[in-house]
Structure 1
Amino acid sequence: MSPEHGARRSQVVMVEPALTQLAKLTARETHRLDRAIVAISVNPELGTAVPGTLLRDYTDEIDGVRAIYYITALRTITIVAYVEA
Structure 2
Amino acid sequence: MSPEPGPRRSRVITVEPALTQLSKLTASETHRLDRAIVAISVNPELGTAIPGTWLRDYSDEVDGVRVIYYVTALQTITIVAYVEA
TM-score of the two chains, using structure 2 as the length reference: 0.96
Once superposed, what is the RMSD of the aligned Cα atoms?
Answer: 1.0
Shift in Å, 1:3: 5.0
Match of 2:79 in 1: 79
2:76 is matched by which residue type in structure 1? T
SS in 2 for 1:67: strand
Amino acid at match of 2:45: E
Q: Distance in 2 between matches of 1:3 and 1:42?
A: 18
* TM-fit CA distance, 1:59: 0.1
Aligned-pair CA distance for 1:4? 2.5
Residue type at the aligned position of 2:42: V
Q: Which moved more, 1:3-12 or 1:14-23?
A: 3-12
Q: Distance in 1 between matches of 2:3 and 2:48?
A: 30
Q: CA deviation at 1:52?
A: 0.5
Q: Supply the AA of the counterpart residue of 1:66.
A: R
CA distance in 1, matches of 2:67, 2:3: 31
Aligned to 2:8: 8
In structure 1, the residue corresponding to 2:45 is in which secondary structure?
helix
The code of the aligned residue for 1:28 comes to S
Letter matched to residue 84 of structure 1: E
Unaligned stretches of 5+ in structure 1? none
Give deviations 1:1-21, integer Å, cap 9, x for gaps. Answer: x85311000000000000000
User: Which aligned pairs between 1:23-34 and structure 2 lie closer than 5 A?
Assistant: 23-34=23-34
Q: Alignment length, in residue pairs?
A: 84
